[in-house]
Structure 1
Amino acid sequence: MSAGTALRARVDTDDIHAVPLRHPWRWVSAAAVVVLTALFAISAAGNENYLWHTYLKYLFDQRISKGAGVTVLITLVSMVIATAAGLLAAVARMSENFVLRYAAWLYIWVFRGTPVYVQLVFWGLFTSLYPRIGLDIPGVGLLFGVDTKPWFTPMVSACIGLGLNEGSYMSEVMRAGILSVGQGQREAAAALGIPRGKMMRRVVMPQAMRVIIPPTGNSLIGMLKTTSLVVAIPVSVELYVRVRDIAGVLYQPVPLLLVACTWYLAMTSVLMVGQHFVEKHYARGDARASSGRQRRAAADEDGEKA
């Protein structure tokens, strides 16, 4: 038995009368929140202006559920585009080539500095601005040309517009995650002859994911709600557009907006649960290291006291 353990064993626990610190205002505030929430729920349930019968009628309407599926599809595709664009912009921002560095900065500056609704309007007008895209070399002629209308459908324009806008924000998230990995690990990988691409995949990115995942999850949830802005293109089968069209026919916007809010809450709740488990997966190594450091620190402290 060490000296520190023997010293703690001699302490008579019967002489210790620990009194927990009381927090009466916590209970008062909690009770106030419960009462106010209950009062609001009772008031809303009895308010005929909400038109709850219309809400229940259209909550699981087939048009609404299909619109929710389209919303999820737009969100996932746009997030894939945003992740790819963000990663490329982040790598370009850290490049030693000043052309790539300033091109990435220009992309981030433009897409972060202008409203996403305005950007979606321009993407909706893309086929009018550029009805045909091709490579025309002076003196040689047109090498090839493609009509844009069959390719840039409203769905495609919505995904590209949302993805490139979100990619400008994701680039800073990616850059922060990459920079969070110590320079020494990159130098060690370079000293071992590991190619830069493999180093990013095997050394840097697995550690950077701990920093990247939380804000990326928030961006995904924000993207899900931002899809309501594709009304600017418009995508006629998206959830909010469906709700708006039905409300326009019924002249009852409130219950249909509640239907939309319910679907958005359900979808974001699923994404939040998924984000929790992904964060937990990438934080496992860090949690083990942290607990090990804490045990060593506690052992050192006991040795100093002894």
Structure 2
Amino acid sequence: MSESPGAAVSLASAPPAAETAVPSTEPRTARPAEAELPGDNTAPRPLAAQRVLPLRRPGRWIATAIVLVLVAQIVHGLVTNPFYQWDRFQYWFLRPTILDGLLITLQVTAYSAVLGLLGGILIALGRLSRSPVLRAVSWTYTWLFRSVPLIVVLLFLYNFSALYKTLSLGVPFGPAFFTFDESRLATDIVVAVVGLSLNEAAYASEVVRSGILAVDQGQHEAASALGLPKSYQFTKIVFPQALRSITPNYVNLLINLIKSTSLVFYVSLLDLFGSAQSMGSTYPGDIVPLLLVATVWYLILTSAVSVIQFYVERYVARGATRTLPPTPLQKLRAGLRDLRARARREAAI
């Protein structure tokens, strides 16, 4: 049978049948898109050698610049303003009159701080006592002296001899065993110390009471379970723990006490402020320098108390914190070490 020419042509022109794909054993060559770019053949640096860029905080830098500008303006105004008379300030700063007043301020502050703290402890114990009489009397004392201004207390004590010419100790409504003249005992410094101590004790009692209440109740229960005497529980267990919260609050009272001694000038005691005020009356042109002298001395005293507060808080914090807060010298050494380490890293990079 003969085949048609058209069929032969169509069969010859037909594409060959698809062959079965056989996996090739030859290694594949990398595609041009996946080839490494020239210059990208360097190995990455180790993580320790990479530089960490700090987070940028523009708002903080702007606020810092504004504060520095304001501080610079204030310092410039203080230094260049002739109204302050810094030459007269230098003249009066170490004058014997000012130093005598400073000594009286230190004496009154020391006596009042000790007596006020002791009185505050007694009043706080009275507030925590189970006796209703002690609680009532302690609460009344605290309420009274926290309500009356200190200047009123000082003026009242200064004129106390006008109300009671003599004081006596004996049986109430009965014979007196001891009688003495109040005006001989109530000198100016005694009036100042008594007035400041009475006022300080009222505030210190609340500081001490809050510190005692801050001690965990389990400490009281554990001490009672051991059968320890009450006095031993308070002096060896409760009060040392309460000091951690009493110290910063009482130091605030102590700083306020230093400033409150300026009021004893009104009971004829020439303390630091009284001496500056007295010299200002004698030399009216030096009032501003004398006030600056008193201000700077008060700043020095309160700063010294703040430094003492830091070390006292660090001492009483032993056993309560894992690491004690670093001292200023330790902070300086740590800062120098950080600067040296940063300089080494910069040099290595």
TM range (shorter): 0.7 to 0.9
The residue aligned with 2:157 is: 123
Query: What is the distance in 1 between the residues matched to 2:303 and 2:97?
Result: 21
The residue aligned with 2:75 is: 41
* Consecutive unaligned residues in structure 1, runs of 5 or more: 1-11, 292-306
After superposition, residues 1-306 of structure 1 pair within 5 angstroms as 19-135=53-169, 141-236=175-270, 238-251=271-284, 252-288=286-322
Query: What is the distance in 2 between the residues matched to 1:110 and 1:274?
Result: 31
Residue 13 of structure 1 and its aligned partner are, at CA, apart by 5.1
Residue type at the aligned position of 1:73: Q
Residue 277 of structure 1 and its aligned partner are, at CA, apart by 0.5
Query: What is the distance in 2 between the residues matched to 1:259 and 1:17?
Result: 52
Residue type at the aligned position of 2:98: I
SS for the counterpart of 2:320 is helix
Query: What is the distance in 2 between the residues matched to 1:86 and 1:107?
Result: 11
SS for the counterpart of 2:176 is strand
Residue 140 of structure 1 and its aligned partner are, at CA, apart by 5.3
Query: What is the distance in 2 between the residues matched to 1:186 and 1:64?
Result: 50
1:42-95 Cα shifts (integer Å, max 9, x gaps): 222222211222111101101101211111111111011110111111111111
Could you tell which deviates more after superposition, 48-57 or 255-264? Answer: 48-57
Query: What is the distance in 1 between the residues matched to 2:219 and 2:97?
Result: 53
Contact 1:52 1:255 in 2 (8 A): yes
Contact 2:314 2:324 in 1 (8 A): no
Residue type at the aligned position of 1:31: A
Query: What is the distance in 2 between the residues matched to 1:225 and 1:96?
Result: 36
* Consecutive unaligned residues in structure 2, runs of 5 or more: 1-45, 326-349
User: As a proportion of its length, which structure holds more helix?
Assistant: 1
- Distance verdict in 2 for CA 1:289–1:259, change over 3 Å: closer
Query: What is the distance in 1 between the residues matched to 2:254 and 2:157?
Result: 21
- Distance verdict in 2 for CA 1:84–1:25, change over 3 Å: same
Residue 186 of structure 1 and its aligned partner are, at CA, apart by 1.6
- Distance verdict in 2 for CA 1:192–1:18, change over 3 Å: same
Residue type at the aligned position of 1:110: L
Contact 1:224 1:268 in 2 (8 A): yes
Query: What is the distance in 1 between the residues matched to 2:173 and 2:320?
Result: 62
TM-score, normalization by structure 1: 0.85
Residue type at the aligned position of 1:246: M
| Alignment length (residue pairs) | 279
Contact 1:81 1:167 in 2 (8 A): yes
- Distance verdict in 2 for CA 1:38–1:110, change over 3 Å: same
SS for the counterpart of 2:177 is strand
Contact 2:318 2:324 in 1 (8 A): no
The residue aligned with 1:294 is: none
Contact 1:181 1:204 in 2 (8 A): yes
Residue type at the aligned position of 2:232: K
SS for the counterpart of 1:37 is helix
- Distance verdict in 2 for CA 1:284–1:109, change over 3 Å: same
The structure with more radius of gyration: 2
Contact 2:211 2:246 in 1 (8 A): yes
- Distance verdict in 2 for CA 1:217–1:36, change over 3 Å: same
Query: What is the distance in 2 between the residues matched to 1:250 and 1:282?
Result: 48
Residue 191 of structure 1 and its aligned partner are, at CA, apart by 2.3
Query: What is the distance in 2 between the residues matched to 1:263 and 1:276?
Result: 20
TM-score, normalization by structure 2: 0.75
Residue type at the aligned position of 2:223: A
SS for the counterpart of 1:288 is coil
CA RMSD of aligned residues (A): 2.2
